[in-house]
Amino acid sequence: MTNDPNDIFMLTNRSKVMEKKQMTLAERLYLPAIAGGMSITFRHIFKKSATVQYPEQLRPIAPVYRGHHVLKRDEAGAERCTACGLCAVACPAEAITMTAAERKKGEENLYREEKYAAIYEINMLRCIFCGLCEEACPKEAIFLTDRLIPSNYGRQGFIFGKDKLVETMDNPVDVTKRQTPAVLEFKKDKFHQHNVTIKDLIDIEEH
Ligand code: SF4
Ligand code: SF4
């Protein structure tokens, strides 16, 4: 390094001396720039459009896509969630909150276990759709589906409660793609109490 003050600009050999050229008349009228821009526009007219007319037109999504959660019911229509909180503990984004309640007599057809989630909320703005809640759930109550989260103008609209999460009786959400053979096999094991449905209990009583 010398004592020449210009040396400081040569450290990376990337410095470039800019030349201030006089602009031609055409350049001053922006003609080359306009012609260049128009040529790009015309080239794109004949290319396949990248725009998708959502929501009428949907992009194909990957088979492993994880979207809108669903809280499942069992075969008899009772809510599977027992408000154990394991999904909330597993959630890295702290997106899940719930309030547990005791099932009352006569509500056996509504809730599968003695304890159920009176309030169950997922903040979709916090959720990163990692699927850990689904993995943590011992009751096969929560699954991520291929449904998209609808857009909304307000933050409050992204707090999804049971009204948006629990599947309706007349329109069950198919989660078979997310149930591995190991999970399906485990479900058949009635030794585990949470695999026993109301339908099983009725069958036992009848026989
Ligand atoms: S998908 Fe992940 S981030 Fe979203 S609620 Fe479940 S555990 Fe939390
Ligand atoms: S969704 Fe599953 S893990 Fe979460 S509280 Fe309900 S039963 Fe427990």
pTM of the prediction?
Answer: 0.71
Ligand 1 geometric centre to CA of 153 (Å): 22
- The pLDDT score that the predictor gives to residue 8 is 55
- The pLDDT score that the predictor gives to residue 27 is 87
- The pLDDT score that the predictor gives to residue 33 is 94
- The pLDDT score that the predictor gives to residue 156 is 95
Distance of alpha carbon 90 from alpha carbon 37, whole angstroms: 52
Could you give all domains of the chain from N- to C-terminal order, each with its CATH number? 69-206 (3.30.70.3270)
| The token pair that represents 129 in the structure block | 């759709």
CA neighbours within 13 Å on the CB side: how many for 179?
15
Is ligand 2 within 6 A of the CB of residue 141?
yes
Is ligand 1 within 6 A of the CB of residue 71?
no
Mutate to test the pocket of ligand 2, among 72, 74, 79, 86 (most ligand atoms within 8 A of CB): 86
Q: Which residues pair with 97 in a beta bridge?
A: 121
pLDDT tens, residue order, the chain (207 aa): 455 555 555 667 777 778 888 888 888 899 999 999 999 999 999 898 888 898 898 888 888 899 999 999 998 999 999 999 999 999 999 999 999 999 999 999 999 999 999 999 999 999 999 999 998 998 889 999 999 999 999 999 999 999 999 999 999 998 888 877 777 777 677 777 666 666 677 777 776
**Cα dist from 99 to 85, 86, 115, 116, 154, whole Å:** 9, 13, 10, 8, 24
Residues 48-97: tens digit of each pLDDT: 888 889 889 888 888 889 999 999 999 899 999 999 999 999 999 999 99
